């Protein structure tokens, strides 16, 4: 290299760094969900260096189910980045040498073509550098934008960057990072093993999993986020998609304050916040009472059947005025003293065999008895006696028919356990009672030759025989 070339290169690099020269430099603190970097307290802009690594990793998607996630920083969602409005960000994206794919990053916080995508395109084992100035405050999604874009996002390549407003955000007691995403696997929900990505399900938007923070149960049980009564918490909520919009809701709480779409429009008293794919929201609420508060996507099958369920465990003293808890549970018997079956009496088809009786009896059981004695016949300790392997039931089936016809209250001993309660009388036909008792005396380990309607008719003729023992 000739000497004048060297000098001109030196001048060039001096000119390039000149704009940043008067700003102090600092390293960005990055965190994994559900943690959020500490609030930025400085009152001036800085040059902030962000080092982020893309990495392809096999991790748990659900119990027994693994998935090859493509990540920003080793987990889904990607690292939370926190900067301040006006900061100049030097962004270094490194793609781990073991990656099979090139990756890049499109930060929605960037003003500039592609949000950084073209400038950050990085092959495995390479690093790219670009810079931007954070002009707009707000909570922004970032994601990979390498073709096929949908596939990179579907594999988990998204995260949040908070551009803290110049004047900061009001102080709260705790901040957490929650990000929803939908996943598409060859096997259906829960099918075990290492599940490959399913492109055709993704195109059809037919998600097998909809989860918070990259896996079913990542915010449940011991992994729940926590707080104490009297505290105010702030959730930075993002939605990576790739396809589905989130109806974000916390059961038993109301968002006192919402920064709509992660911007500076503040809404109050919100039950469910709509978070678009590639969008965000900041929600805040004070915790007045203890308990476990469930976070869901209120497109509710996603919560209970696809994984979009998390928990906030709040400890502290009760406040019975704000929420009493259950105050009583009494027997409710409208219109006289017997339960009118909602089912039409079976008139036409009478069961012919014990097998048919058991079959018909099952539906009667589920509609009339299961609420107390439980679908499994096990009852509830100290409240409802078991029918499964009940010595009391199996000793005398006719007595049981009397209990269904007339009800029963007082003390009863079943399998050496004492129960004190009341069972209402049922307005069921002889046929229905014969069927339901044929079912319960032939289920869950019980065995008998069942009851016929004539047996029940005989008991009915002698109404008070089973009311008390």
**Residues paired with 355 in a beta bridge:** none
- Classified as helix, coil or strand, 188 is coil
Angle of helix 354-368 versus helix 430-440 axis, rounded to 10: 90
- With CB under 5 to 8 Å by kind, the binding choice for 157 among ligand HEC, Cu ion, none is Cu ion
Nearest to 213 by CA among 223, 221, 205: 223
Report the chain's C-alpha Rg in angstroms: 32
Spell out the alpha helix ranges (H) of 386-448. 391-395, 397-406, 430-440
Part of the chain binding Cu ion (CB under 5 A), chosen from 108-116, 157-165, 208-216, 247-255: 157-165
Part of the chain binding ligand HEC (CB under 6 A), chosen from 14-22, 212-220, 411-419, 446-454: 411-419
Tell the smallest beta-carbon distance from residue 442 to ligand HEC (Å): 13
- Under rule CB under 6 A, residue 384 binds ligand HEC: yes
C-alpha span between 167 and 309 (Å, rounded): 34
By C-beta, is 46 or 437 nearer to ligand HEC?
437
- With CB under 5 to 8 Å by kind, the binding choice for 172 among ligand HEC, Cu ion, none is none
Are 216 and 116 contacting, i.e. CB atoms less than 8 angstroms apart? no
- Under rule CB under 6 A, residue 390 binds ligand HEC: yes
Nearest to 355 by CA among 269, 438, 293: 438
Tell the smallest beta-carbon distance from residue 350 to ligand HEC (Å): 19
Among 40, 144, 160, 358, binds Cu ion (CB under 5 A): 144
Tell the smallest beta-carbon distance from residue 281 to Cu ion (Å): 25
**Residues paired with 232 in a beta bridge:** 286
By C-beta, is 144 or 358 nearer to Cu ion?
144
- Under rule CB under 6 A, residue 400 binds ligand HEC: yes
By C-beta, is 26 or 356 nearer to ligand HEC?
356
Among 309, 373, 406, 466, binds ligand HEC (CB under 6 A): 373
With 0-12 / 13-18 / 19 or more C-beta atoms within 10 angstroms meaning exposed / middle / buried, residue 15 is exposed
- Classified as helix, coil or strand, 356 is helix
For residue 325, the tally of other CB atoms under 10 A from its CB is 8
Among 436, 456, 459, 466, binds ligand HEC (CB under 6 A): 436
DSSP per-residue string spanning 36-99? -PPPP--SS--EEEEEEEEEEEEEEEETTEEEEEEEESSSSSPPEEEEETT-EEEEEEEE-TT-
List the x/- string, 349-368, binding to ligand HEC by CB under 6 A.
-------------------x
Among 47, 108, 143, 152, binds Cu ion (CB under 5 A): 152
Among 414, 452, 457, 467, binds ligand HEC (CB under 6 A): 414
Q: In degrees rounded to 5, what are phi and psi of residue 400?
A: -60, -40
Number of residues located near Cu ion, criterion CB under 5 A: 5
- With CB under 5 to 8 Å by kind, the binding choice for 103 among Cu ion, ligand HEC, none is Cu ion
- Under rule CB under 6 A, residue 412 binds ligand HEC: yes
Tokens standing for 430?
């002889």
- Classified as helix, coil or strand, 248 is strand
By C-beta, is 91 or 365 nearer to ligand HEC?
365
DSSP per-residue string spanning 97-110? TT-SS-B--EETT-
- Under rule CB under 5 A, residue 157 binds Cu ion: yes
List the x/- string, 104-123, binding to ligand HEC by CB under 6 A.
--------------------
Q: Cα dist. 367→22, 159, 295, 298 in Å?
A: 76, 47, 31, 28
* First-residue to last-residue Cα distance in the chain: 108
- Name the residues that contact ligand HEC, by CB under 6 A: 368-369, 371-373, 384-387, 390, 392-393, 400, 403-404, 408-410, 412, 414, 419-424, 426, 436, 440
- Name the residues that contact Cu ion, by CB under 5 A: 103, 144, 146, 152, 157
């Amino acid at each position: 290299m000739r000497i004048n070339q060297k000098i001109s290169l030196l001048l060039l690099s001096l000119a390039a760094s000149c704009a940043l020269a008067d700003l102090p430099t600092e390293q960005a603190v990055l965190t994994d969900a559900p943690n959020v970097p500490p609030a930025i307290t400085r009152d001036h802009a800085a040059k902030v260096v962000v080092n982020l690594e893309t990495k392809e990793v096999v991790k748990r998607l659900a119990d027994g189910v693994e998935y090859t996630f493509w990540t920003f920083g080793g987990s889904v969602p990607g690292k939370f980045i926190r900067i301040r409005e006006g900061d100049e960000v030097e962004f270094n994206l490194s793609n781990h040498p073991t990656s099979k794919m090139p990756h890049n990053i499109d930060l929605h916080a960037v003003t500039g073509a592609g949000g950084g995508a073209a400038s950050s395109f990085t092959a495995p084992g390479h690093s790219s550098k670009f810079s931007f100035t954070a002009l707009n405050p707000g909570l922004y999604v970032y994601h990979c934008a390498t073709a096929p874009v949908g596939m990179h996002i579907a594999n988990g390549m998204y995260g949040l960057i908070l551009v803290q407003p110049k004047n900061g955000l009001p102080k709260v007691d705790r901040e957490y990072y929650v990000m929803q995403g939908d996943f598409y696997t060859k096997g259906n929900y829960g099918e075990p093993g290492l599940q490959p990505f399913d492109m055709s399900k993704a195109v059809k938007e037919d998600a097998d999993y909809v989860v918070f923070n990259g896996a079913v149960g990542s915010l449940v049980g011991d992994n729940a986020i926590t707080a104490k009564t009297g505290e105010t918490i702030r959730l930075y909520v993002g939605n990576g998609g790739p396809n589905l919009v989130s109806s974000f809701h916390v059961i038993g709480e109301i968002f006192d304050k919402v920064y709509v779409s992660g911007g500076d429009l503040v809404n109050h008293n919100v039950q469910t916040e709509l978070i678009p794919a590639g969008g965000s929201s900041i929600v805040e609420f004070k915790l007045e009472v203890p308990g476990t508060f469930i976070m869901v996507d209120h497109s509710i099958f996603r919560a209970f059947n696809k994984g979009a369920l998390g928990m906030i465990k709040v400890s502290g003293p009760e406040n019975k005025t704000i929420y009493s808890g259950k105050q009583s549970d009494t027997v409710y018997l409208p219109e006289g003293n017997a339960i009118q079956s909602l089912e039409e009496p079976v008139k036409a088809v009478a069961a012919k065999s014990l097998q048919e009786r058991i079959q018909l009896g099952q539906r009667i059981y589920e509609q009339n008895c299961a609420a107390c004695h439980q679908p499994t016949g096990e009852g509830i300790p100290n409240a409802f006696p078991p029918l499964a392997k009940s010595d009391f039931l199996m000793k005398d089936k006719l007595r049981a028919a009397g209990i269904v016809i007339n009800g029963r209250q007082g003390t009863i001993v079943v399998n050496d356990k004492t129960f004190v309660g009341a069972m209402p009388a049922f307005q069921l036909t002889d046929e229905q009672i014969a069927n339901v008792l044929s079912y319960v005396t032939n289920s869950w380990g019980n065995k008998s030759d069942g009851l016929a309607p004539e047996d029940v008719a005989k008991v009915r003729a002698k109404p008070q025989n089973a009311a008390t023992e």
